[in-house]
Amino acid sequence: MSIVIVAAVLAAVPDDLYRRGNWAALAADRRASEIGDALIVTIFQAAESSRTAQNLSRKATDASAGLRADGIAESGTASFGGGFTGRGESRRSERLVAQLSVTVTGILPNGDLLVAGRQRMRVNGEQTDIGVRGRIRTIDIAPDNSVLSTRIADAEIDYGGRGFVSRSARPGIINRLFGLLGLG
Reported confidence tier of residue 8, pLDDT bands at 50, 70, 90 = low
* In a domain? residue 65: no
Mean pLDDT of the chain: 76
For residues 24-37, average pLDDT: 73
> Tell me, what's the pLDDT at 160?
84
- Residue 108, pLDDT > 90, answer yes
**Domains: count for the chain:** 1
The rounded distance, in Å, linking the Cα atoms of 116 and 148 is: 14
Looking at the domain assignment, is residue 74 inside a domain?
Answer: no
The set of residues, in sequence order, having a beta carbon less than 8 Å from that of 58 and lying 6+ positions away, is 81, 82, 83
Count of other CB atoms within 10 angstroms of residue 147: 24
- The secondary structure element, H or E, covering residue 165 is helix 164-169
Please give the pLDDT value at position 68. Answer: 65
- Asked, for residue 20, whether it belongs to a domain, the answer is no
The angle formed by the CA atoms of residues 139, 147 and 96, to the nearest 5 degrees, is 150
Distances (CA, A) of 9 to 6, 12, 13, 16: 10, 9, 12, 15
Whether residue 46 contacts residue 81, with contact meaning beta carbons closer than 8 Å, is answered with no
Domain that holds residue 143: 32-51+88-181
pTM: 0.54
Residue 57 lies in a domain: no
Listed ranges 7-16, 44-53, 54-63, 174-183; the one with the highest mean pLDDT: 44-53
**Phi and psi, residue 123, nearest 5°:** -130, 120
Residue 15, domain member (yes or no): no
The model's pLDDT over 109-168, given as tens digits with 9 standing for 90+, comes to 999 999 999 999 888 878 889 999 999 999 999 989 999 999 999 999 988 877 655 555
Pick 171 or 26 by higher pLDDT: 171
* CB distance 100 to 129 below 8 Å: no
Tell me the sheet residues that pair with 104: 115
| Count of Cβ atoms closer than 10 Å to residue 104 Cβ | 19
What number of helices (H) and strands (E) belong to the chain? 3, 6
Q: Is residue 40 part of a domain?
A: yes
